[in-house]
Amino acid sequence: MSKIDIAFIGGSGLYKVPEISNIKWAKVTTNFGQPSSEICTGRIGKCNVAFLPRHGKFHTISPSKINYRANIEALKKLGSENIISLSAVGSLRNDYMPGDFVLIDQFIDKTYLRSKTFFEDDLVVHLPMAQPICKNIKSKLADSLKKLRIKFHNQGTYVCIEGPQFSTLSESELFRSWGCDVIGMTNMPEAKLSLEAGICYASIGMVTDFDCWHPDHENVSVDQIVKTLNDNSEKAKKLISFIARDKKLICNEKTKNLAKNSIITNIEKVKKSTKNKLKNILK
C-alpha cells in the first residue's frame, strides 16, 4: 500500500471500523517510541484507509499517557495524507446536546504534561496555528453528515484539559465564559503534531453528556452516558464508511510543506542525528 488516503483516529467507544477489506494490522516503529496500538490498514471501496485506536485496542491508555508523537509519526510513515479524529466530548452549551456531533474548528490547549512538538532539539520551527483544521475535509464531513441525517453543529471551539479527571465546576464555568463549546482530553497536541508532520487534520467531537456546569448533570447516570457513547460510535462507523468513498480529501501543498516553510534555524547548523530523527516528519 503506497499511501493512506484517510487515516482515522478513534477515541472512547470507537476501537474498530466495519467494512474494511484486506485488513492488516501494521506494527510501526517510530523515532518517538511506540504508538498506542498496531494500526489497522485496508480498503473501503477504492480508498486506502488506516485506523488507530487512540487509547489502545482495549482502552488501556489514559489521555496524558498517549504517545501522540509516535501515533502521528506512525501514520506519516504509512503514507497518511489526511487524518480524521473522532473523540468523545462534553458539551459546554445548552444547544449542543448529547448525541450531537460537532465539527471542531478551533482549540484551546490547557494540557501541561505532554510532549507537544517534534522539534525539541536543535531545530527550531515556529508553526502557524491560526487555522488548525483543514477546511476542505471539514466541508466534506459536513456534507456527509447531512446526507446521513446525523445531527451536527458546523463549528466548535474545543478546550483540551489534561485529565484524566473531569473539570471542576469553576473550571467548567470558566471555559464557558471563554466561549468554548465542547471539552475533551485528547485533541491536543494531536492537531498540532499532525500539522507539523504535514498531514491535513479534521476533528469530530461526539457529545456524550453536558459537562458539570449543567444543572441536570448530577441526574445523569453512567448507564445513560455509556448508551450515548455506544450510539455515537455506531453513527461514527456509518460516517467513516461514507466519507471513505470520497478519495479527494487532500487540501493543498501548503499543509504538506508547512513545517519546512516554518524552519527558523539554519539547516546547516542542525545535527545529523536530529535530521535523521525527523526524516519521516519532514519527508
**Cell triple for 261:** 516553510
Task: Give how far Cα 213 sits from Cα of 87, 167, 176, Å.
Answer: 20, 9, 9
Residues 6+ apart with CB under 8 A from 172: 92, 183, 211, 212, 213
Q: Is residue 90 part of a domain?
A: yes
Q: Is residue 127 part of a domain?
A: yes
Global model pTM greater than 0.85: yes
Are the beta carbons of 260 and 254 closer than 8 angstroms? no
Number of domains in the chain: 1
* 209 is a catalytic site residue: yes
Q: Is residue 178 part of a domain?
A: yes
Q: Is residue 282 part of a domain?
A: no
* 211 is a catalytic site residue: yes
Domain residue limits at 146 = 6-277
Neighbours of 155 (CB within 10 A): 12
217 vs 198: CA distance, rounded Å: 40
For the stretch 100-136, pLDDT in tens is 999 999 999 999 999 999 999 999 999 999 999 999 9
Given this model, what pLDDT does residue 117 score? 98
CATH number at residue 263: 3.40.50.1580
pLDDT mean values, one per 10 residues, the chain (283 residues): 84 74 92 96 90 93 97 96 94 96 98 97 95 94 96 98 93 97 97 96 96 82 83 92 75 84 94 95 89
Q: Is residue 138 part of a domain?
A: yes
Q: Is residue 1 part of a domain?
A: no
Q: List 24's β-bridge partners, or say none.
A: 41
Q: Which of 209, 216, 231, 246 is catalytic?
A: 209
Q: What are phi and psi of 175, to 5 degrees?
A: -60, -35
43 vs 245: CA distance, rounded Å: 10
Q: Which of 211, 223, 231, 246 is catalytic?
A: 211
Q: Is residue 283 part of a domain?
A: no
259 vs 148: CA distance, rounded Å: 36
**Cell triple for 32:** 518517538
